[in-house]
Structure 1
Amino acid sequence: MILALIRRDLALLWLRPSGVVVPMIFFVLVAALFPFAVGPDAKLLGRIASGIVWVAALLAALLPVETLVAGDRADGTFDQLVTRGIALETATAARLIAHWLGFTAPLLIALPIAGVLLGMESAAIGRVALGLLLGTPGLAALALIAASLTSGLRGGGALAGLIVLPLALPILIFGVGLNSSDSMSALKLLAASSLVLVAAAPFASGAALRGGMDG
């Protein structure tokens, strides 16, 4: 059942520009425009390139947050799933996996282009790619939780950003830390942070959606 839900959610994400295409374009545009803001200092750009990529990845994960669960909540899809005996936690776990696949795969495809635009070395691009593989599930989990909490609210996208940004700091810090001398510790902490968020997201999102349905 969860595989069917994932396939359905992925199909819906691909049909919406905000689900896949826009995050990838946004990611590349950030990488292309940021060097103009920093200036011609290649050393400075190289030092902060990893941070730029992680912030761009976070914002890309948040771009579809207003449509992540709001449509299914509004048209009664979640009510129908509950009626059929499918727990909201199962539905939100499928949505989490679909959202992660939907925005992470295009980001990894676009990462070499972004890395070249930011003047990153190939080894640094490889470390960032590994970090994104481990950290983006946590970013997707935060986006799903925020979407569930703010669905149906006016200006929910802005509120979701306020919820996610502070909670995403550990992932950003440990992700950027992969370029430090103690990269192995940063890698372990990044994976642990992401795993905790992924484990908690279906239950937190399910509870938020259930509260909205009861209200």
Structure 2
Amino acid sequence: MMADCNVVVLISGSGSNLQALIDSTRAGDQPARICAVIANRADAYGLERAKAAGIATRLLDHKAFDGREAFDAALIEAIDGFDPQLVVLAGFMRILTPGFVRHYAGRLLNIHPSLLPKYKGLHTHQRALEAGDSEHGCSVHFVTEELDGGPLVVQAVVPVQPDDSPDSLAQRVHEQEHLIYPLAVRWFAEGRLRLGEQGAMLDGQKLPSSGHPFRT
């Protein structure tokens, strides 16, 4: 029996990816265990999702701190109190300081709603439509000091329909996020996924620059 991999999830909003992770970790053979959910907003509905699942929650309001460094120092203290092997960003709308990222180097994952390296930052669905892209999607990556720029783990591709709006495209991308994020967390928890000197490694092999392709 593999030992549990303790996971702390950071959120700012509704927590739909958090719910997908909660649902996946309830599978009997899943070694990942969400031990805490931490939010920087009191109105983050993901806190209710965590409480309903019996998961410890913490609220750390960034507005109560004097700058990013002070907030991130308090966040590190809160996270480390749960002794996690992995920290997962699930709609955590904060740009993290280099010190925070270095502290969790190799054990910090994020999901981004685009096929990175395309469309780092915000409004990704709108930007994909404005560019006339035929494909869009989402990416799980290790977090580094470069915003949305860490080594890719897995990507899911969504075809863009002629009548898509940003909302309709976002909805289909979300469905894929809810599949590939639990997959990446599982790989890490099973010891299959690691960040090596050459980039993201799966089963000892360097992943391609676009990450592992995911097809439903």
TM-score normalised to the size of structure 2? 0.34
| Structure label with greater radius of gyration | 1
Q: Report the TM-score, using the length of structure 1 for normalisation.
A: 0.34
Q: Higher relative contact order by CA 8 Å / sep ≥ 6: 1 or 2?
A: 1
The structure that is strand-richer by fraction is 2
